Structure 1
Amino acid sequence: MTETTTNATPGEDRTVVIREVGPRDGFQNEPETIATADKIRLINELGQTGLTRIEVASFVRPDVIPQLSDGVEVLKGIDLPESVERMVLIPNTKGLDNALAIRELFDACTLFVSASESHNKANINRTVRETMEDVKTMGGRIAAEGIQYGAVIATSFGCPYEGHVPMDRVLDLAEEFAESGATELGFGDTTGMANPAYVHRFFTEAARRLPGVELTAHFHNTRGQGLANAYAALEAGCRSFESSFGELGGCPVPKGSTGNIASEDLISMFHEMGVETGIDLDALITAARHAQEVLGRKLTSHSIVAGPVLWESAA
């Protein structure tokens, strides 16, 4: 395991939790079908890195995202340590019905909405209010099953169709999710429109309005500001982050929305700062390189190329 930094500031040790979303958010954007066996192998490899949360599958309609149509087979085939939380994304009531039919195969589920009307309609063909009415029913069912329930609000930091998204609109939706039973709320920079100054203000206010709720930051590196935004969220008190190995992923709508921040780049930064993740960075970089081999193309993660910082060999 790569030793954490000798360059950290004394007295600033902190701990964060990373949710790896590559097997869902990352794979769904790949144009070529990834073999189920390859997905299972890569997820199992991720499970050996020290990650404690992996988003494994989604219950979207197969005709909408064919790449994820083998979600049930993937859930049945993976072999993860008991310490790893298997998470699934639920788009609507039908998706929840399908998920509950195999309840024993996952540990937690995530519901989602876009804060922007235009993006929500483009993404799932529903209004925000239609989605949130569905959330009330689904939240009750999830709670009755004793399943850990989280939610993600897309376009929290800006919409490619509408531009600025008011902070109050996002946090009002977050409060609705919390009232429906969500114990974790993720805020997505879906097309990479966030900036560090706004991110700091946002998470400061989110913590004030949502006491007792775990807040998660989900940034994309579309315009190269992903790690800076993660740092701003950390400084505002956020201790939970979503990222994708190899910098896989991006929003299916619109064009030009490149991937999530790379898990290995995010973790490398945290380790250099003395922030503990519990993750073996070397093992994670190896998994990302294996994903690169499976996909047959170079991925955009910096750590795949450079590897971790090796202080003992630096001249």
Structure 2
Amino acid sequence: MGRLPDRVSITEVGLRDGLQIEKRILPPDEKLALAKALIDAGHTSLEVTSFVSPARVPQLADAADVLAALGHTPGVELKALVPNIRGAERALAAKADVLVFVLSATDTHGVRNLNRSSHESLAELREVVTTTSAAGARIDVSLSVAFGCPFEGDVPVEEVIDLAGRIQQLGVSRMSFCDTTGMATPRQIQALAEALRERLPELDPAFHFHNTRGLGLVGVLVALQEGIVRFESSVGGLGGCPFAPSAAGNVCTEDMVHMLHEIGIETGLDLTRLMEAARLAEQFVGRTLDGQVMKSGPRLHLHGRDGCK
């Protein structure tokens, strides 16, 4: 398998990326209960909401209320996604710990998702960086369709690296590279990780996979072999982009943690409590979720001799 890291960090995105596509709109008290269950499982980084148009994403219209209800837990960062300067100002007013500016690696997805091209978003990011710096807040960047676009096809690694370099020049050092609709292949993941290591060594990248075609955990394993140590995932496998066709859920947090622990990589997360959080999420959204370990239990969860027929 090659050399693997001893430890990775995971940002839980189920409360934002996960819930934004759900038909049932969870009330703030259920979101709060789910957030607390995830924090109790050991999460120290959660993307909890987004400050986007409530008309486009009504599931997250209560962003400020959710952040106010959660408050500040020592050692836990609460992230809020923002698409523009107006969203950034709202997130700062709501006292989000970290702002995550989202832009697309392709113009077509950018227009569909954000109503602006990638270069227009880059210009907006410049203003957001100025505003967050003045407020003393951290700004991360989430780069959508970094491995493939459902409208334009494969996205060349050179284009992704060029855009990431321009973002880094604005003073952003933490960036998520997102496989928004599950188009990433092992070779693409390897190529992007290598290019980041060689061309942008000061960048702190996270990889974010979706399981649309069943390759989510494969992507995580390839990324690990290439030295990536930050990942994003969603409780129960919740999620998907509401503005991309055939979008499916994120890599499931508890499934990924189970795999990581089985190959000796520490996460700081309690798998049993993660499974409890996943079942709670399933109860709240009112449908069966895609997570596997929440149903089967860990590999060494043993049964009595009468349990197998």
- With the shorter chain as reference, the TM-score category is over 0.9
Q: Does 1:253 align with 2:243?
A: yes
Contact 1:246–1:291 (CA<8 Å) still a contact in 2?
Answer: yes
Q: Separation in 1 of the partners of 2:144 and 2:284?
A: 29
| Per-residue Cα deviation, 1:94-151 (whole angstroms, up to 9, x for no partner) | 111212222xx32111111111111100001111111111111111221222212210
Q: Does 1:125 align with 2:115?
A: yes
Report what 2:23 is aligned to. Answer: 31
Q: Which of residues 54, 64, 67 in structure 2 aligns to 1:72?
A: 64
Residues 230 and 314 of structure 1: CA distance in aligned 2, closer, same or farther (over 3 Å): farther
- Flag structure 1 segments of 5+ consecutive residues without an equivalent: 1-8
Letter in structure 1 aligned against 2:183: M
Q: TM-score, normalised by structure 1?
A: 0.93
Identity of aligned pairs, percent? Answer: 38
Contact 2:16–2:50 (CA<8 Å) still a contact in 1?
Answer: yes
Residues 12 and 93 of structure 1: CA distance in aligned 2, closer, same or farther (over 3 Å): closer
Q: Which of residues 47, 52, 67 in structure 2 aligns to 1:55?
A: 47
Report what 1:300 is aligned to. Answer: 290
- Map 1:280-291 → 2, pairs under 5 A: 280-291=270-281
Corresponding pairs, count: 305
- Map 1:6-155 → 2, pairs under 5 A: 14-78=6-70, 81-102=73-94, 105-155=95-145
Q: Separation in 2 of the partners of 1:286 and 1:210?
A: 39
Residues 106 and 97 of structure 1: CA distance in aligned 2, closer, same or farther (over 3 Å): closer
Q: Separation in 2 of the partners of 1:254 and 1:128?
A: 16
- Flag structure 2 segments of 5+ consecutive residues without an equivalent: none
Residues 107 and 162 of structure 1: CA distance in aligned 2, closer, same or farther (over 3 Å): same
What is the root-mean-square deviation in Å for CA atoms of aligned residues? Answer: 1.8
Residues 30 and 312 of structure 1: CA distance in aligned 2, closer, same or farther (over 3 Å): closer
| Per-residue Cα deviation, 1:166-206 (whole angstroms, up to 9, x for no partner) | 11111111111111121201100011000112201211111
Contact 2:4–2:227 (CA<8 Å) still a contact in 1?
Answer: no
Shift of 1:81: 3.2
Report what 1:4 is aligned to. Answer: none
